[in-house]
A and B are shown apart, each in its own frame.
Chain A
């Protein structure tokens, strides 16, 4: 399925979670979110937890906290 992370398209397996999409996008950014220095959020700015399940077309942004 296609997921968008910081406006970049990521092709990832069906049933992937937020952490999988972040890892695929950038290990470094994933670690930053894991450590809490950055935060994954949906287009409305709502924080997303790393184990959140994704559906086709979901959009994620990674921002500094």
Chain B
């Protein structure tokens, strides 16, 4: 076992060396030739731990080739409380990208998650360029108008253009984040906008779309526009191990969460592209790390922010139902819903100290579930409650905004469900209600229900929702111990 372990380590190192050095042997620079290397990352989602490896790889490459660049195809925020709850939010990413020497960043939909004030700082107080061509700001916007593209010139006067494009949901015309964060911003169709920048072809030897559109849309972009050489994409977290050309355009994407670093090598001969190819570097196979960046990441991870006090409650909370009620009250209040529901299995703690620390929130809600909204009729709400009760054989769903009583017969067969508003009146059967739940409930068969409304993500985790609710802190203790759901066993008929 010992020898095998050593061999595995050796093999990993050997493979990593091959992956890293392999492309170099194919791109020996000759007179009249320019060799350019672009490292790319996307959908990092605040997972900063591998950035010391990224820094090391880029630094090593820059020693060999000054024409080495590093770009991000969006969604650098949301997914790690160390970054998401930092003050100011997202600062570890800003600091690390600045120190590593990020050159260009295209906005993704989750760049808006912390709000425009945070994004403004990210866009202005940084050495890297932030681009987005299909975003138009008005006077009401907090962020400045980003440049649609940027041009980088190498030492030997080769010009590379990077055109930024962010995804837009077809039904809302906005990127996938909470609409409240997008005041004063108008988003345009990325494919139509891209076509307007065909003149970049005349100005630059290499034209790259740095997109946050998803792989399928990148394919459409490659098919529609005739002036791009490369698309470096994001959004769908697609692991493109061997980027291939579509309509002559090389499309690359590097998974997510900094598990991979993408690398594209471009060769130009007398100013014309004569070679382009990409690969993915699996960062788990890389042993090298930049010591300074590693130290800083450790400091960010060891920060006191998870120990940060979120709120002080009037008294400590005990009992899973009480905590469950707090969670659904938070969902209903923060997302302005009529009703909120959460499954018991998703609540993983049964007490909360009077001094609520951030760490406790992520102990209660460790799964990173997102909040989802459906517009449901009372009948559709009943279908959810009935299906859940009959499958689980017990009450499972914490509720806010209504109370419910399930009547059932032997074998957990539901015979009727009574829904009442908070005044005790039966729900109006003629209308629909804004109902929130976590994304697990919205997808799992256990919680199957009939619904005409397809539903939409509220683009916030339930944990972040609870933090926000407690920080506002108005009357959060009200009615937490009041029973909100009950069952009534209907006796069987005597023979």
Residues on B with C-beta less than 8 A from A46 are: 215, 238-241, 253
Given contacts A13-B454, A52-B238, contact A58 B214 (CB under 8 A): yes
Given contacts A13-B374, A13-B457, A14-B457, contact A56 B170 (CB under 8 A): yes
Q: Any chain A CB within 8 A of the CB of B405?
A: no
A53 to B216 Cα, complex, angstroms: 12
Q: Any chain B CB within 8 A of the CB of A62?
A: no
- Do most interface residues of chain A lie in helix, strand or loop, or is the interface mixed? loop
Q: Any chain B CB within 8 A of the CB of A8?
A: no
Q: Any chain A CB within 8 A of the CB of B171?
A: yes
Contact of B442 with A13 in the complex, beta carbons under 8 Å: yes
Q: Any chain B CB within 8 A of the CB of A36?
A: no
Min CB gap A51→B, angstroms? 6
Q: Any chain A CB within 8 A of the CB of B289?
A: no
Contact of A54 with B236 in the complex, beta carbons under 8 Å: yes
Given contacts A46-B215, A57-B216, contact A20 B439 (CB under 8 A): yes
User: Which of B214, B444, B456 meets A15, CB within 8 Å?
Assistant: B456
Given contacts A13-B454, A14-B457, A23-B443, contact A53 B214 (CB under 8 A): yes
User: Which of B235, B253, B372, B445 meets A53, CB within 8 Å?
Assistant: B235
Task: Give the size range of A's interface with the partner.
Answer: 20 to 34
Residues on A with C-beta less than 8 A from B150 are: none
- Do most interface residues of chain B lie in helix, strand or loop, or is the interface mixed? loop
Give 1 or 0 for each of B449-467: 1 = CB within 8 Å of chain A CB. 0000011110100000000
Q: Any chain B CB within 8 A of the CB of A9?
A: no
- Chain B residue nearest in CB terms to A54: B236
Contact of A42 with B236 in the complex, beta carbons under 8 Å: yes
Min CB gap B254→A, angstroms? 10
Q: Any chain B CB within 8 A of the CB of A32?
A: no
Q: Any chain B CB within 8 A of the CB of A34?
A: no
Given contacts A13-B372, A14-B171, A23-B444, contact A49 B456 (CB under 8 A): no
A15 to B112 Cα, complex, angstroms: 15
Residues on B with C-beta less than 8 A from A57 are: 216
A17 to B214 Cα, complex, angstroms: 12
Contact of B454 with A49 in the complex, beta carbons under 8 Å: no
A18 to B459 Cα, complex, angstroms: 15
User: Which of B215, B217, B259, B440 meets A42, CB within 8 Å?
Assistant: B215
Interface core residue of B253, B439, B459 (most chain A CB under 10 Å): B439
Give 1 or 0 for each of A20-46: 1 = CB within 8 Å of chain B CB. 110110010000000000000010101
- Chain A residue nearest in CB terms to B446: A27
Q: Any chain A CB within 8 A of the CB of B256?
A: yes
Q: Any chain A CB within 8 A of the CB of B237?
A: yes
A6 to B237 Cα, complex, angstroms: 19
Contact of B240 with A14 in the complex, beta carbons under 8 Å: no
Residues on B with C-beta less than 8 A from A1 are: 454
Q: Any chain A CB within 8 A of the CB of B45?
A: yes
User: Which of A12, A24, A44, A51 meets B237, CB within 8 Å?
Assistant: A51
Give 1 or 0 for each of B123-151: 1 = CB within 8 Å of chain A CB. 00000000000000000000000000000
Given contacts A20-B442, A27-B445, contact A49 B455 (CB under 8 A): no
The A-contacting residues of B in range 36-94, CB under 8 angstroms, are 43, 45, 79
Interface core residue of A19, A52, A53 (most chain B CB under 10 Å): A53
Q: Any chain A CB within 8 A of the CB of B34?
A: no
- Chain A residue nearest in CB terms to B235: A53
Q: Any chain A CB within 8 A of the CB of B167?
A: yes
Residues on A with C-beta less than 8 A from B374 are: 13
Interface core residue of B169, B176, B216, B259 (most chain A CB under 10 Å): B216
- Chain A residue nearest in CB terms to B215: A42
Q: Any chain A CB within 8 A of the CB of B255?
A: yes
- Chain B residue nearest in CB terms to A20: B443
- Chain B residue nearest in CB terms to A26: B445
A42 to B239 Cα, complex, angstroms: 10
A20 to B457 Cα, complex, angstroms: 11
A13 to B259 Cα, complex, angstroms: 27
Contact of A52 with B454 in the complex, beta carbons under 8 Å: no
Given contacts A20-B442, A23-B444, contact A15 B459 (CB under 8 A): yes
Min CB gap B366→A, angstroms? 15
- Chain A residue nearest in CB terms to B214: A55
A58 to B169 Cα, complex, angstroms: 13
Contact of A53 with B454 in the complex, beta carbons under 8 Å: no
Q: Which 10 A-B pairs have the closest CB atoms?
A: A15-B457, A52-B237, A13-B455, A49-B237, A20-B443, A23-B443, A47-B239, A14-B456, A52-B236, A24-B443
Q: List 19 A-B contacts (CB under 8 A).
A: A12-B442, A12-B443, A12-B454, A13-B374, A13-B454, A15-B370, A15-B459, A17-B439, A23-B444, A27-B446, A42-B216, A44-B244, A46-B253, A49-B239, A49-B255, A53-B236, A55-B235, A57-B216, A58-B236
Having A13-B455, A47-B238, one finds 12 other A-B pairs with CB under 8 Å, namely A13-B372, A23-B443, A46-B215, A47-B241, A48-B236, A49-B239, A49-B257, A51-B79, A52-B238, A53-B235, A55-B169, A55-B236
